[in-house]
Amino acid sequence: MSRSHEQPPLDRTPLDEPGFERDLARLAKALGHPARVRILRFLLSRDTCMCGDIVQHLPLAQSTVSQHLKALKDSGLVQGTIAGPRVCYCVDRQVLGRFRDLVGRLQPCLEGDPDCRSPLDQEVEP
């Protein structure tokens, strides 16, 4: 199909369909709270997994931290596996890399990228 003859694909289409916008928004929303940024940084600092002594590094109650961890898990940025009595969390670097990629794809022309197409034509490739 010759896309260039039609209207750009973002015209009034629903906002919560799978694709670039929804995926980027979900990942960004997951990082849209400083507590979750800190959790991610903490998990990345030990590149091995670490269990919920994350709580020791946050000025929040344990239940609140658990909620933030759930948000991070729902976004896919963090995985949790049961390891005996405790739970072992670790960052899914694939997903984090995808987030970085989506953000970078937002602004392809910042530093004179040669193959710099309009961001409207750039969709996700699953």
* One of 3, 61, 83, 106 touching a second copy (CB under 8 A): 106
- Which string of b and e fits 46-68 if b means at least 16 CB within 10 Å? eeebbeeebbeebebeeeebeeb
> Closest separation between CB of residue 88 and DNA, Å?
7
- Only segment of 4-12, 65-73, 90-98, 112-120 that touches DNA (CB under 7 A): 65-73
Q: Which residues contact 62 (CB under 8 A, 6 or more apart)?
A: 52, 55
Of residues 83-122, those binding DNA (CB under 7 A):
84-87
Amino acid (one-letter) located at 106: L
Are residues 69 and 89 in contact, defined by beta-carbon separation less than 8 angstroms? yes
Q: Is 64 in the site for DNA (CB under 7 A)?
A: yes
76 in the Ramachandran plot: left (φ > 0), alpha (ψ -120 to 50) or beta? left
> Closest separation between CB of residue 117 and DNA, Å?
27
Are residues 73 and 80 in contact, defined by beta-carbon separation less than 8 angstroms? yes
Q: Is 41 in the site for DNA (CB under 7 A)?
A: no
Q: Is 52 in the site for DNA (CB under 7 A)?
A: yes
> Closest separation between CB of residue 107 and DNA, Å?
21
* One of 2, 4, 45, 63 touching DNA (CB under 7 A): 63
